[in-house]
């Protein structure tokens, strides 16, 4: 088995106070490895997004630890956490969050600019990632001129532009039709996944289960089981 | 940092509608503030026109005098007393008053009359036509060719009129640097003729104009004059006193203040409001930036850059526009009272900075508070 990418131990997260207090995640432990595509699957409200957020340095858990590449991320300072997100994690948000006032290539270049690369160098590199997702000819268009599937690919190009070890997708196919969704995930598995990278995908779209290496089922803030995915 | 500011610039400028609205807000506010304060500066300057045109270094007057026009006559012995103060090179009387002139066609017109010291003609205007000695000839008056000149029927040398049942005749046409505020023509004559032709109280000297031997003597002269129960003001002090009168003792100052405040508030609300919606619209994107790994201060710089950029451009446009308008107005209307002063430019700039500051504060507060988790959850 390849190296350990993520190790989560006894993660707990609740929201609200007193009567209104609800537990979104109740003591979740799991591991994810480099070279694998791990799905987190479960009904809406089961705590998938909350779990992903705690793993990616976005949401601080009430208790428990997250170790990524031997770093206990929740013991980092907030600046170190920002660096961690910038350098180690790549996000593909459910509704992409692309800037409509920037061109497609500028959108992809954002992590590079945040890494303080020169503007021109950022654009050159961003072009390469656009090429990977097959959208080189769309570089100068604003993302709103692109189809949903194309925007999803732009979001992927932006997520991989910082060459993250861990890629996080939240419901990547939710706003795509079935065929486009499958194509995207197929593409990600073939072109984006490699042995030095771990991809975590939250979904309840069973049409893309075939691409998973493992599928972790979540319910009510707990993990109810892990299955081998795929064919 | 440069890259992130370039992103901020593009986010701002590419949103053409909002950018235009922001610019309009700041331009409008700057324009209004600059117009209003320039008009006020112009009015203040014109209210001191006699002080400027006569040009004396020191003016001696009754302490109750507020404006040049409303002089309070002083007895003759004060003139002698002033002349005998150490450090006075010379001191001369000035008559300043209003009169009613009857033109040849029977029309009455009020004028302001300045009577210059007979011996020295100190404070005389620059003549465009005629000779200054002619002021000593019978019934002689010199008319100032300013914006009010046509109200006397565009007189020429030799044109006659009546002042208080005395005959008057124009012997010269003069030019002065600053026109008056009150929309009446100005006539110059000698002090003795002014006193003789115009109704006056027991005392006749409106002002005593003093030339000190050196600037070091000014303080001493002031003290001596004060001990006589009068005040000696330098030219600048007198202008300041007149300005203060208009600012604080008439409604003008309050109104100007009000107008300035209104333009400030209008500008602030347009720009602040637009910037707020701009930030709200981009809030999720800022949150996404945060999630991706932007530091808080980078987002703050982006917002500061956006407000600073819009403010400077809006300020420039507003100043440019008001300058243009004032210039055009002055070309068409020579007596148009507005001058742009560095002080007013500075004041408008500070107001714009305040607008920018408040707008950024609103934006920064929103952006700092946004939780990337909320963005992530969608
Ligand atoms: N910021 C929040 N405030 C209150 N409750 C929250 C918040 N975020 C998530 N929750 C609750 O936590 C639970 C899990 O949410 P989430 O992780 O978004 O589920 P999923 O992604 O599986 O649909 C839900 O019951 C949700 O209402
Ligand atoms: Mg979710």
A114, B298: Cβ pair inside 8 Å?
yes
Partners of residue B8 on adjacent β-strands: none
Pocket of ligand 1 (CB under 6 A): A 15-16, 22, 24, 42, 44-50; B 377
pLDDT digits (tens, 9 = 90+) for A108-140: 999 999 999 999 999 999 999 999 999 999 999
Angle A38-A41-A46 (CA atoms, 0-180°, nearest 5)?
Answer: 130
- Whether B323 is covered by a domain: the verdict is yes
Q: Whose CA is nearest to atom 27 of ligand 1?
A: A45
- Whether B181 is covered by a domain: the verdict is yes
Same domain? B200 vs B263: no
User: Ligand 1 pocket: which of A12, A20, A24, A54 to mutate (most atoms <8 Å of CB)?
Assistant: A24
Tell me the pLDDT band of A2, cut-offs 50, 70 and 90.
low
Same domain? B17 vs B126: no
Same domain? B223 vs B79: yes
Boundary-marking domain end, from B170, B197, B229? B229
Average pLDDT over residues A6-35: 94
Tell me what pLDDT residue B213 has: 93
Tell me what pLDDT residue B1 has: 67
pLDDT digits (tens, 9 = 90+) for A155-187: 999 999 999 999 999 988 888 888 888 988 998
pTM: 0.79
Tell me what pLDDT residue A176 has: 83
Q: Whose CA is nearest to atom 11 of ligand 1?
A: A24
Q: Which residue has the higher pLDDT, B195 or B271?
A: B195
- Whether B120 is covered by a domain: the verdict is yes
Question: ipTM, 2 decimals?
Answer: 0.88
Same domain? B20 vs B140: no
Tell me what pLDDT residue B32 has: 86
Same domain? B225 vs B260: no
Tell me what pLDDT residue B136 has: 94
State how far the Cα of A53 lies from the Cα of A59, in Å rounded to an integer: 5
- Whether B185 is covered by a domain: the verdict is yes
Tell me what pLDDT residue B183 has: 82
- Whether B348 is covered by a domain: the verdict is yes
- The mean pLDDT value of chain B amounts to 89
Same domain? B163 vs B304: no
Ligand of minimum distance to the alpha carbon of A218: 1
- Whether B283 is covered by a domain: the verdict is yes
A119, B3: Cβ pair inside 8 Å?
yes
Q: What is the DSSP string of B184-202?
A: --EEEEEHHHHHHHS---S
Closest ligand 1 atom to A50 CA: 17
Tell me what pLDDT residue A167 has: 95
State how far the Cα of A156 lies from the Cα of A154, in Å rounded to an integer: 5
Boundary-marking domain end, from B198, B229, B260? B229
Tell me what pLDDT residue B29 has: 86
- Whether B29 is covered by a domain: the verdict is yes
Same domain? B85 vs B131: yes
Same domain? B89 vs B185: yes
What is the number of domains present in chain B? 2
Same domain? B214 vs B95: yes
- pLDDT tops 80 at residue B334: no
The tally of CA atoms less than 13 A away on the side-chain side of residue B358 is: 16
**Cα A124 to Cα A117, A127, B7, distances in angstroms:** 11, 5, 16
Same domain? B213 vs B255: no
Where in the sequence is the domain holding B151, given as residue range(s)? 75-229
Nearest-neighbour CA in chain A from B296: distance (Å): 9
Tell me what pLDDT residue A231 has: 53
- Whether B122 is covered by a domain: the verdict is yes
Ligand 1 mean position, distance from CA A183 (Å): 29
SS3 B277: helix
pLDDT digits (tens, 9 = 90+) for B36-62: 888 888 888 888 888 998 989 999 999
Same domain? B129 vs B218: yes
Tell me what pLDDT residue A222 has: 95
- pLDDT tops 90 at residue B248: no
Same domain? B88 vs B208: yes
Average pLDDT over residues B73-98: 93
The residue among B192, B197, B195, B146 whose CA lies nearest residue B168 is B197
């Amino acid at each position: 088995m390849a190296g350990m990418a993520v190790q989560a131990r006894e993660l707990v997260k609740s929201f609200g106070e007193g009567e209104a207090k609800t537990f979104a995640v109740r003591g979740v432990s799991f591991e994810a490895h480099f070279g694998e595509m791990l799905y987190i699957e479960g009904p809406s409200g089961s705590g998938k997004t909350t779990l992903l957020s705690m793993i990616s340095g976005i949401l601080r858990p009430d208790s428990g630890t997250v170790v990524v590449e031997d770093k206990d991320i929740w013991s980092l300072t907030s600046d170190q956490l920002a660096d961690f997100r910038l350098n180690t994690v790549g996000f593909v948000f459910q509704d992409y969050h692309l800037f409509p006032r920037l061109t497609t290539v500028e959108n992809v270049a954002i992590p590079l600019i945040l890494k303080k690369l020169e503007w021109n160098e950022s654009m050159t590199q961003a072009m390469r990632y656009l090429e990977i997702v097959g959208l080189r000819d769309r570089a100068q268009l604003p993302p709103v001129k692109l189809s949903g599937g194309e925007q999803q690919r732009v979001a992927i190009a932006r997520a991989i532009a910082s060459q993250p070890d861990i890629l996080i997708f939240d419901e990547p196919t939710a706003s795509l039709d079935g065929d486009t969704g499958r194509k995207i995930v197929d593409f990600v598995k073939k072109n984006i996944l490699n042995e030095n990278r771990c991809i975590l995908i939250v979904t309840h779209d069973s049409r893309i289960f075939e691409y998973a290496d493992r599928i972790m089922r979540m319910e009510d803030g707990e993990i109810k089981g892990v299955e081998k995915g795929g064919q | 940092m440069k890259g992130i500011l370039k992103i901020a610039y593009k986010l701002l400028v590419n949103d053409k509608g909002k950018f235009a609205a922001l610019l309009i807000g700041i331009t409008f506010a700057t324009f209004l503030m600059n117009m209003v304060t320039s008009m006020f500066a112009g009015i203040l300057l014109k209210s001191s026109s006699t002080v400027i045109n006569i040009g004396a270094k020191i003016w001696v007057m009754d302490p109750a005098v507020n404006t040049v026009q409303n002089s309070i006559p002083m007895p003759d012995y004060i003139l002698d007393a002033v002349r005998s103060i150490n450090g006075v090179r010379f001191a001369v009387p000035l008559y300043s008053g209003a009169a009613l002139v009857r033109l040849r066609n029977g029309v009455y017109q009020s004028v302001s009359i300045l009577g210059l010291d007979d011996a020295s003609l100190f404070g005389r205007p620059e003549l465009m036509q005629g000779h200054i000695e002619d002021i000593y000839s019978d019934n002689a008056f010199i008319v100032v060719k300013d914006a009010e000149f046509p109200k006397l029927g565009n007189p020429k040398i030799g044109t006659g009129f009546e002042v208080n049942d005395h005959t008057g005749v124009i012997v010269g046409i003069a030019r002065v640097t600053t026109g008056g505020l009150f929309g009446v023509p100005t006539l110059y004559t000698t002090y003795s003729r002014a006193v003789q032709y115009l109704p006056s109280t027991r005392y006749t000297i409106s002002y005593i104009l003093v030339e000190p031997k050196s600037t070091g003597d000014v303080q001493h002269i002031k003290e001596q004059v004060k001990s006589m129960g009068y005040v000696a003001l330098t030219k600048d002090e007198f202008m300041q006193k007149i300005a203060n009168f208009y600012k604080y003792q008439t409604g003008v100052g309050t109104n100007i203040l009000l107008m300035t405040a209104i333009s400030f508030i209008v500008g602030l609300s347009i720009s602040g409001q637009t910037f707020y919606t701009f930030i709200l619209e981009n809030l999720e994107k800022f949150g996404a930036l945060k999630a991706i790994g932007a530091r808080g201060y980078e987002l703050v710089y982006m917002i500061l850059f956006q407000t600073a950029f819009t403010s400077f451009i809006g300020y420039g446009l507003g100043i440019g526009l008001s300058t243009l308008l004032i210039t055009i107005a002055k070309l068409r209307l020579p007596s148009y009272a507005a001058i742009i002063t560095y002080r007013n430019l500075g004041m408008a700039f500070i107001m714009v900075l305040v607008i920018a500051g408040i707008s950024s504060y609103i934006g920064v507060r929103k952006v700092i508070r946004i939780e990337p988790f909320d963005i992530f959850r969608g």
